[in-house]
Amino acid sequence: MRACRAAVLGAACALALVACSSKDDDDKAYVEQPVEKLYNNALDSLGAGEYKTAAKGFEEVDRQHPYSVWATKAQLMAAFSYYQANKYDDAILALDRFIQLHPGHRDVAYAYYLKALCYYEQIADVGRDQRITEQALNALAEVTKRFPETAYARDARLKVDLAIDHLGGKEMDVGRFYQSQRQYVGAINRYRQVIERYQTTTHTPEALHRLVECYLALGVHDEAQTAAAVLGHNYPGSDWYADSYYLLEGVDLRPERHEGSWLNRMWKSVF
């Protein structure tokens, strides 16, 4: 019995020590400080390039003084710090929270712009999944729509062009793969996407030439001739047109519009 009582007493003492230790750790973790000190410390970390520390510091401002004017500034600064640290997901979460809590704030345009940059700076090469490019494009478009007269919108419009070019490049990449596998219908569908959706990009001349190649391979001469005609009309001095003309000449054909071609309809509405 004495041994049992001793064991129980020992366990109780151990639990008490653990509880005290845990309480001491909590007290150390949470030390309330003046809002100005917290904010300035976070600013110092940001200036020193310690972006993760700065983000945590600004979050501490918001945690300890949630109803102060400093808290609102700190929310945006935490997002900026995460952005600087290339922690884009954390930055986006912080920006979404800021936008939701302060939709009428004077810096909300910047919050939308910074969110768009978080997506934009993650755009990968055209050989990879372009979902992030779509997200960047949508976020940039939202900036231009909501804040059309701002400097943020002007910069967003420039970045939209690159995002669209990446999407067109992805379609070309997949189209070339299908074509290399002699899956010409699949390739045509991809090149057609470039013509219909991304005709202002740098990929359009090549897409038209690849259509000439694919249609000739399938024996669809009317479409091949029309693709070459559209290419020659819009890019007469390009190497792509010279190559298309050579291909047609090899089978006794010339670039020529055909009324029934989908490309002819596109020509009338876009080119």
Q: Tens digit of pLDDT for each residue in 43-73?
A: 999 999 999 999 999 999 888 888 888 989 9
Q: Can you give the pLDDT at residue 29?
A: 56
Q: Can you give the pLDDT at residue 15?
A: 44
Cβ 35 vs Cβ 64: under 8 Å: yes
* Nearest CA among 129, 55, 41 for reference residue 89: 55
What residue spans define the domains of the chain? 35-165, 183-269
Q: What count of Cα atoms within 13 Å lies in the side-chain half-sphere of residue 166?
A: 23
Residue with the bigger pLDDT between 35 and 179: it is: 179
Q: Tens digit of pLDDT for each residue in 80-117?
A: 999 999 999 999 999 999 999 999 999 999 999 999 99
Cβ 68 vs Cβ 35: under 8 Å: yes
| Per-residue CA distances from 96 to 19, 103, 166 (Å) | 38, 10, 26
Q: Tens digit of pLDDT for each residue in 201-247?
A: 999 999 999 999 999 999 999 999 999 999 999 999 999 999 999 99
- 21 pLDDT above the threshold of 70: no
Percent of the chain with pLDDT over 90: 65
Q: Can you give the pLDDT at residue 126?
A: 57
pTM value is: 0.71
Q: Torsion angle of alpha carbons 196, 238, 264, 223, nearest 10°?
A: -100
- Residues near 70 by beta carbon (within 8 Å), at least 6 away in sequence: 35, 36, 38, 39, 61
Q: What is the mean pLDDT of the chain?
A: 86
Residue with the bigger pLDDT between 32 and 220: it is: 220
CB atoms within 10 A of CB 220: 17
Q: What is the mean pLDDT of residues 20-36?
A: 59
Architecture of domain 35-165: Alpha Horseshoe (1.25)
Q: How confident is the model at residue 10 (pLDDT cuts 50, 70, 90)?
A: very low
Q: Can you give the pLDDT at residue 129?
A: 65
